[in-house]
Amino acid sequence: MIDFQWAGFGLAATDIAHFISAAVYADLLVDGGESNLLRYYYEELQQYLVKYGAYASADEAMEQYSFDTFMVQYETAVLDMCRLVIAYAWSRFEPVDKDDKDGCARTMNKNSYNKSMPNVVWLMSRCDSILKSRGV
């Protein structure tokens, strides 16, 4: 299983979208960081889809679950995270600097998007770029 929140049926891209938007420092996502993480995750996922029998071969896995498909699913999941953050999480926003150990301890049950201003900026910028790429 490759899962960061809940083990169950669903899209792998949803898990990685939640993980990236909730737990990765924004400075690791800029300048190609997000793309590198996604490519690595996808390549590992492809290996395990074959290893555990979801697909008979690497070629079949790539053909039936392409990186493009994965990215469409990922971007849709990021948009959904934006919906949740805007509608629910921002009312609990409490900015904390990543070097503030007391602040981090105080907000341990919060995700990066409701305690890190750089992560909020990254997430909203990413949502904006996805929406623009889809003509919205």
pLDDT level of residue 131 (50, 70, 90 thresholds): very high
Are 70 and 12 in contact by the 8 Å Cβ rule? The answer is yes
CA distances from residue 51 to 16, 55, 95, 124 in whole angstroms, order as listed? 20, 8, 42, 36
Least confidently predicted of 41-45, 62-66, 93-97 = 93-97
Share in percent of the chain as helix, strand, coil (round to 5): 70, 0, 30
Output the pLDDT for position 19: 87
pLDDT level of residue 85 (50, 70, 90 thresholds): confident
pLDDT at 7 > cutoff 90: no
Residue 29 CB burial class (10 angstroms; 0-12, 13-18, ≥19)? buried
59-72 pLDDT, tens digit per residue, is 999 999 999 999 99
**What is the DSSP code (8-state) at residue 106?**
H
Tokens of 117: 């201003």
Residues 97/100/23/122 CA torsion (nearest 10 deg): 10
Are 96 and 115 in contact by the 8 Å Cβ rule? The answer is yes
**Mean pLDDT computed over every residue of the chain:** 84
99-109 pLDDT, tens digit per residue, is 767 765 665 55
